[in-house]
Amino acid sequence: MPSIQDVADQLNARLDQISTNTANTAQNTADNLSVSQDIRNELIQTNNRLLQIDNTLTVGFSNLSQGMSTLIQVQLAALNLLDHHRKQNDTIICELVNNNELLCNIMKKLGKQLRLSEASLKSVERIEGITERVHCCEASDYDRNRDQIRRIEECCPPEPIPEEDCLEHCKMPKFRESKPSGQDWKPLPTPKKSDPVG
């Protein structure tokens, strides 16, 4: 049977082992606490960085959307101006078509004038012929021939020369200026670095 001294030695050895284990556990807990504090500090710094990024993105998207809105307004003003130019081009084309028709009508009238000039030339030749012959019988032959032509024209009159109407004026477009809105915007300031949380 073990002696009391042996039991006491065993108890002391056990207590020493418990004391050592408790000291090791306390050291491990202290080490874990230090590591946990380091992790907490890193998480706080990461959170601060993420907040800074979030603020920067918010300001950036706001600036981008305002800038895009301004560009859209400028594009709308440009489209309005282009539409006015298109209408002006339509007016120019209308004027060119009218000028073409006028020139065509002038050409037709000149053709008629040429035919009248040829008829006048024939009349002058007739007068010259009458004066050359000096005899009135020739004049009466000419008059008889002219009378026959007049009767033919009474039976089958030539088509009258129609009077031409003036062309309608081309519609001139009125320019309605489009003033783009949103031209007074200014970018938001870059966000300041946020204070560390913790």
User: How do residues 60-93 score in pLDDT, each as one tens digit?
Assistant: 888 888 888 888 888 888 888 898 888 889 888 8
In a domain, 12, yes or no: yes
In a domain, 94, yes or no: yes
Model confidence over 144-168: pLDDT tens digits? 888 888 888 888 887 877 777 766 7
pLDDT of residue 187 exceeding 70, the answer is no
In a domain, 25, yes or no: yes
More confident: 100 or 188? 100
In a domain, 64, yes or no: yes
In a domain, 26, yes or no: yes
In a domain, 121, yes or no: no
Write down the pTM of the prediction.
0.43
In a domain, 118, yes or no: no
In degrees, rounded to 5, the angle at the alpha carbon of residue 156 between the alpha carbons of residues 153 and 162 is: 85
Model confidence over 21-67: pLDDT tens digits? 888 887 888 888 888 888 999 999 999 999 999 988 888 888 888 88
Three-state secondary structure readout of 46-109: HHHHHHHHHHHHHHHHHHHHHHHHHHHHHHHHHHHHHHHHHHHHHHHHHHHHHHHHHHHHHHHH
pLDDT at 150: 86
> What is the span of the domain harbouring residue 63?
4-111
**Considering its fold, how many domains does the chain have in total?**
1
In a domain, 195, yes or no: no
Q: Categorize the per-residue pLDDT at 194 as very low, low, confident or very high, splitting at 50, 70 and 90.
A: low
| Mean pLDDT taken over the chain | 81
Closest CA to 102 of 164, 171, 161: 164
